[in-house]
Chain A
Amino acid sequence: MATLDSKIPDGPLKDKWTNHKNTIDLVNPANKRNIDVIVVGTGLAGGSAAATLAELGYNVKAFCFQDSPRRAHSIAAQGGINAAKNYQGDGDSTYRLFYDTVKGGDYRSREANVYRLAEVSANIIDQCVAQGVPFARDYGGLLDNRSFGGVLVSRTFYAKGQTGQQLLLGAYSAMNRQIGRGKIKMYNRHEMLDVVIVDGKARGIITRNLVNGEIERHSAHAVVLGTGGYGNVFFLSTNAMGSNVTAGWKAHKKGAFFANPCYTQIHPTCIPVSGDHQSKLTLMSESLRNDGRIWVPKHKKDVEAIRNKTLKPTQLSEEDRDYYLERRYPAFGNLVPRDVASRAAKERCDAGFGVNATGEAVYLDFASAIQRYGKEQAHIKGLNENDDALVKSLGKEVVKAKYGNLFQMYEKIVDENPYETPMMIYPAVHYTMGGVWVDYNLQTTVPGLFCIGEANFSDHGANRLGASALMQGLADGYFVLPYTIGDYLSDDIRTGTISTDSPEFEEAEKSVKETINHFINNDGSKPVDYFHKKLGKIMWNKCGMSRNEKELKEAISEIAELRAEFYKDVKVPGSANEFNEELAKAGRVADFLELGELFAKDALQREESAGGHFREEHQTEEGEAKRRKEFQYASAWEYKGEPKDAVLHKEELTYDNIQVKERSYK
């Protein structure tokens, strides 16, 4: 069994990547034509990797479960993408982006990877502009920037509130060029159900064609997973309905270590849950915290009145409001990082100050921004700054220009006008920092199996900063993996096409079919969603924003029980050889039911608070997260049958270029 070697190159931090690129083996262009690579997932990581590998000359087979690669969930990213361009001249640099990311991740990420990420970030912007991505520009025709949480510079590039969409369409267009040239063979509506290992190397995958149910074998010299995060283990999250952990989990069961599963990002600004029918949660971009102020009432009597609808939030005077982020964190105020903002909202709601019927909502208020912008506009236009109605209408126009699409989205969902009354928000599961363990080359513990983007674990530590997910996805796909995979594939130039007739393919296909047949023939009584919702409740209540030993232990046994019940009582209609969404869902939920248990086990083992992982036993007197030096490692779990039997391997994290300090935003 593989051991943990992160393969960090020697030499000074800033030269590691350059030296590594200069010394790794390359595959000559003629030989690349004889090598096949499978890429699963077509989001920012998978899409950009598929395009670049094809352009380099490899034969690429790309897979997505959606009806087109353009629909991968990267498309929903709103706010922006970070890059150390220092176009604003505000003191930004590669080092500062590196520093912010390591600190933001609560000193739980791998130093060399993060530095490389910061180093290639500037290139991403050049690349995307050359592809025709319409980033926002200023009146001089140059690129514009905005600010995000946890940093003190303006380094976020954006395309309105749809940055993820534009970057993904850029990667999709690069794929289209290669599909048109025949260098990428695209498989839409295909779901990967297993990875095939031959002689210890990843040599292919088993897929199910979601249209006709056919089980297919696909071989290649290497397999790349860019399959996103596992936030849907909570059932309710901001992920797409189809987002799942299956590819990563199957890889785990075939020998890839799974790292830090308990590191989950709970995003502070989402629209609260409205009822049991809810199928997913909607994010309101972090950029709103540039102008919105977060508060709850100071007194319980006002909370009651608001819940009974006898008092409107706009009627409450300033002194009766508690702007708790500004009170607790004067230096960063409403722009503290996500983990800090989410915990603070939970603290207030747990104390009984939540402002909606469920008691799980706080206000995000734009009234003072509307006032401020309105006065500014009145001044510029030489109008009466004391005319309240005029100031308000001018201010609304400015806010509309900045956040119009988000306000419209809010109004459609909640049926309240956020220009007139404060938005109600509550934290929701958004992103997972944990994932498949990879070394510096983005290779998993299975040779020939690579993992990129949100699906791997490497760059964000215990908490990801806003606008860094897009950066990592594209960095991995465009600029890192295409180089490092060559080092591995250079041994395969004489291998020839991998046969799919081997016993290993036979065995993998057989086991996939057995699982499918079990679901179809299982004469259960409850739909898949029943189990998924139950799992989500356990995860949210016991492995959510704050965790403790007792509840984590309960979660572990409850999930195991639920899993047994699921296999016994799940009801999947229809047949295996047709379009059958319930069957696809059953397979995904089966994997969530295993991952969820490992998640809780990891959270139980990590007896410290770090980033998105908050253990109630480990907090300061003021209720802040308390990191512990003895946990300065990444937890990589090895599969041994049941999740409870997983074996822990530790990758010690060392920081030679940054001083490990208490993470303070006060």
Chain B
Amino acid sequence: MNLTLKIWRQKNANDKGQIVTYPITGIEGDMSFLEMLDILNDQLITNGDDPVAFDHDCREGICGMCSLYINGEAHGPDRLVTTCQLHMRKFKDGDTIFIEPFRAKAFPVIKDLVVDRSSFDRIQHSGGFISVNTSGNTQDANSIPISKNAADEAMDAATCIGCGACVASCKNSSAMLFVSAKVSQYALLPQGQVEATDRVLNMVKQMDEEGFGNCTNTGACEVECPKGISLENIARMNREYLSASLKG
């Protein structure tokens, strides 16, 4: 396959940035998208140019490090995959591919396609935990029976990988899907009940302070989420937030 890549290049956070065009040849369908970028970088380095910076680590769709906005979609055209799991067989010879970073006010660009998602961490610091000591002196695991249904639903919410595709896909740059997944996981489990009120209030407050936008129920986040996190989580967080506000 021969392709034309149009890639966002930005030297650092203060640089204005621009789209630069790179032709690339000899790409095979069995290559992953990131392996295609490896080949481009290999050529750039050999020619004495600066390689394209992008985040990646596990390359099996679980660490949440890779991002990329490909042809206007977070993680590209395939569904339920991260960019590292996207394969070139989804493209055809002669295609032009636009590659941009995840864009949001709360995700400032570090370099090229690399963005700073530490705002997600700070939201978790504000309440994404159960305050239990890690000494191991707790009760036996089976002394808290949890219905299979609740455990499975909590697990579905907990599979969020924190990549930020939801934010990048949202016209408001809202982080509601991300925050609600964590709030839901604990709201569905008895262990999470004790701190439920403070948790949802604090996490939502931090989310707002980081500069994420509001939710207007367009549902783009759910469509683009590589882990299929459901919009129901947002509904659940709204209920949790309302009841916490009334109590609080």
A, B: real partners: yes
Give the distance to chain B from A410, nearest Cβ to Cβ, in Å: 11
Q: Which residues of A contact B211 (CB under 8 A)?
A: none
Within 8 Å by CB of A413, from B34, B85, B127, lies B85
Query: Do residues B158 and A241 form an inter-chain contact, with CB atoms below 8 A?
Result: no
The reply to whether B130 and A578 contact each other, CB–CB distance below 8 Å, is no
Contact B140 A126 (CB under 8 A): yes
Chain A residues 546 to 595 lying within 8 A of chain B, measured CB to CB, are 571, 573-574, 578-579, 581-582
Chain A residues positioned under 8 Å from B42 (CB to CB):
527, 529
The contact of A130 among B63, B120, B139, by CB within 8 Å, is B139
A162 within 8 A of B: yes
Which chain B residue lies CB-closest to A581? B53
Q: How far is the CA of A87 from the CA of B142 in the complex (A)?
A: 9
CB-nearest residue of chain B to A78: B62
A240 touches B57 (CB 8 A): yes
Q: Which of B30, B139, B142 contacts A142 (CB 8 A)?
A: B142
Q: Which of A278-286, A426-434, A631-639 contacts B (4 or more CB under 8 A)?
A: A278-286
Report whether B28 and A275 are in contact in the complex, using a CB–CB cutoff of 8 Å: yes
Residue from B28, B50, B59, B144 within 8 A of A279 (CB atoms) = B59
B39 CB within 8 Å of chain A = yes
In the bound complex, CA of A479 to CA of B162 (Å)? 28
Asked if residues A581 and B125 are in contact (CB atoms below 8 Å), the reply is no
Nearest chain B residue, comparing its CB with the CB of A124: B136
Contacts of B48 in A (CB 8 A): 573
Instruction: Tell me the residues in window 116-133 of chain A with beta carbons closer than 8 Å to chain B beta carbons.
Output: 120, 123-132
Check: A73 CB closer than 8 A to any chain B CB.
yes
Chain B residues 170-200 with CB under 8 Å of chain A are: 185-186, 189, 191-192
Contact with B along A377-416 (1 / 0, CB 8 A): 0000000000000000000000000000000110011010
Residues of B within 8 A of A241 (CB): 56-59
Cross-chain contact B139 with A126 (CB below 8 angstroms): yes
State the Cβ distance, A533 to closest chain B Cβ, in Å. Answer: 11
A126 to B191, CA, bound (A): 12
CA distance A179 to B123 in the complex (A): 11
A278 to B31, CA, bound (A): 7
Q: Does B110 contact A (CB under 8 A)?
A: yes
Q: Which residue of B110, B114, B158 has the most chain A CB atoms within 10 A of its CB atom?
A: B158
Asked if B124 lies at the interface with its beta carbon under 8 angstroms from chain A, I say yes
Whole-angstrom CA separation of A247 from B1 in the bound complex: 41
A99 at interface, CB cutoff 8 A: no
Interface assignment of B159: CB less than 8 Å from any CB of chain A: yes
Residues of chain B within 8 A (CB-CB) of A143 are 141-142
Q: Do residues A579 and B142 form an inter-chain contact, with CB atoms below 8 A? A: no
Asked whether, in the complex, the Cβ of A130 is within 8 Å of the Cβ of B130, the reply is yes
Closest to B147 in A: A141
When each residue 60-83 of chain B gets 1 if its CB lies under 8 Å from chain A and 0 otherwise, what string results? 111111000000000000101100
Are A51 and B120 closer than 8 Å at their CB atoms?
no
The chain B residue with its CB closest to the CB of A174 is: B134
User: Is B87 in contact with chain A by the CB < 8 A criterion?
Assistant: yes
Q: Are A173 and B130 in contact (CB under 8 A)?
A: yes
- Using known A-B contacts A66-B65, A141-B147, determine if residue A412 contacts B191 with beta carbons closer than 8 Å: no
CB-CB nearest in chain B for A48: B134
| Other-chain residue from A126, A172, A413, A581 in contact with B87 (beta carbon distance below 8 A) | A413
105-131 of chain B: CB within 8 A of chain A? 110-111, 114, 116-118, 120-121, 124-131
What's the minimum C-beta distance from A232 to chain B, rounded to whole angstroms? 12
Known: A66-B65, A159-B155. A130 touches B138 (CB 8 A): yes
Known contacts A173-B124, A240-B58, A571-B45; is A137 also within 8 Å of B148 by CB?
yes
Residues of A within 8 A of B35 (CB): 277-279
Q: Is the CB of A573 within 8 A of B136?
A: no
Residue in B128, B130, B141, B148 whose CB lies within 8 Å of A85: B141
B136 & A120 in contact (Cβ 8 Å cutoff): yes
Contacts A177-B129, A240-B58, A413-B87 given: A188-B118 contact, CB under 8 Å? Answer: yes
List chain A residues, Cβ under 8 A from B161: 165
Is the C-beta of B51 less than 8 angstroms from some C-beta in chain A?
Answer: yes
Does B248 lie at the interface of the complex (its beta carbon under 8 Å from any beta carbon of A)?
no
Contact across chains for B57 and A137 when beta carbons are under 8 A apart: no
Taking a contact as CB atoms under 8 Å apart, the answer to whether A71 and B64 are in contact is: yes
A76, B60: Cβ atoms under 8 Å? Answer: yes
Q: How near does chain A come to B190, taking the closest CB pair, in angstroms? A: 9
For the complex, give the distance between the alpha carbons of A340 and B35 in Å: 32
Contact in complex: A176, B125 (CB < 8 Å) = yes
Q: Does B20 have its Cβ within 8 Å of any Cβ on chain A? A: no
Contact A67 B116 (CB under 8 A): yes
CB distance from A621 to the nearest CB of B (A): 40
B216 sits at the interface (CB 8 A): no
**Given contact pairs A67-B118, A137-B146, A139-B148, A127 touches B138 in the complex (Cβ within 8 A):** yes
Chain B residues with CB under 8 A of A526: 46
Interface assignment of A68: CB less than 8 Å from any CB of chain B: yes
Whether A135 is near chain B, meaning CB under 8 Å from some CB there, is yes
Number of A residues with CB within 8 Å of any CB on chain B = 82
Cβ of A140 within 8 Å of any chain B Cβ, yes or no, is: yes
* Closest-CB distance, A224 to chain B (whole angstroms): 15
Q: Mark A63-97, 1 if CB is under 8 A from B, else 0.
A: 00011111101011000000001010000000000
Out of A132, A134, A159, A179, name the residue touching B130 (CB < 8 Å): A132
Q: Mark A151-178, 1 if CB is under 8 A from B, else 0.
A: 0000000011010011001001110110
Given contacts A52-B135, A66-B63, A409-B60, contact A279 B34 (CB under 8 A): yes
Given contacts A241-B57, A409-B60, A582-B51, contact A127 B38 (CB under 8 A): no
Residues of chain A within 8 A of B133, CB atoms compared: 55
Are the C-beta atoms of A573 and B51 separated by less than 8 Å?
yes
Kindly state the separation between the CA atoms of A408 and B82 in the bound complex, as whole angstroms. Answer: 13
Q: B191: which of A129, A136, A140 is its contact (CB, 8 Å)?
A: A129
Complex partner residue of B141 from A48, A125, A527, A529, CB under 8 angstroms: A125
**Pick from B127, B151, B192: contact of A135, CB under 8 Å:** B151
Interface check A274, CB cutoff 8 A = yes
Q: Are B141 and A129 in contact (CB under 8 A)?
A: yes
**A162 touching B159 in the complex, CB below 8 Å, given contacts A277-B38, A415-B87:** yes
C-beta contact mask, A100-125 vs B, less than 8 Å → 1, else 0? Answer: 00000000000000000000100111
CB pair B32–A279 under 8 Å, yes or no, is yes
Q: In the complex, what distance in Å separates the CA atom of A626 from the CA atom of B110?
A: 54
Chain A residues with Cβ below 8 Å from B151 are: 134-137, 141
Q: Are A160 and B155 in contact (CB under 8 A)?
A: yes
A126-B140, A160-B155, A573-B48 known; A279 vs B38 contact (CB < 8 Å): yes
Minimum-distance CB pairs A-B, first 8: A141-B145, A173-B129, A123-B136, A129-B141, A134-B155, A180-B125, A134-B154, A137-B151
23 pairs, CB–CB < 8 Å, chain A vs chain B: A51-B134, A66-B65, A73-B58, A126-B139, A129-B144, A131-B129, A132-B154, A134-B185, A137-B148, A141-B148, A159-B155, A160-B155, A162-B62, A169-B158, A176-B125, A277-B35, A277-B38, A277-B39, A279-B32, A280-B60, A412-B78, A527-B41, A573-B45
Residues of A within 8 A of B (CB): 48, 51-52, 55, 66-71, 73, 75-76, 85, 87, 120, 123-132, 134-143, 159-160, 162, 165-166, 169, 172-174, 176-177, 179-180, 186, 188, 211, 238, 240-242, 274-275, 277-280, 282-283, 408-409, 412-413, 415, 478-479, 525-527, 529, 571, 573-574, 578-579, 581-582
13 extra A-B contacts, CB within 8 A, seeds A134-B155, A409-B85? A55-B133, A68-B117, A68-B118, A68-B162, A73-B57, A134-B152, A139-B148, A141-B147, A173-B124, A174-B134, A176-B128, A179-B125, A409-B61
Chain B residues at the A interface, C-beta cutoff of 8 Å: 11-12, 28-32, 34-35, 38-39, 41-42, 44-46, 48-51, 53, 55-65, 78, 80-81, 85, 87, 89, 110-111, 114, 116-118, 120-121, 124-136, 138-142, 144-148, 151-152, 154-155, 158-159, 161-162, 185-186, 189, 191-192
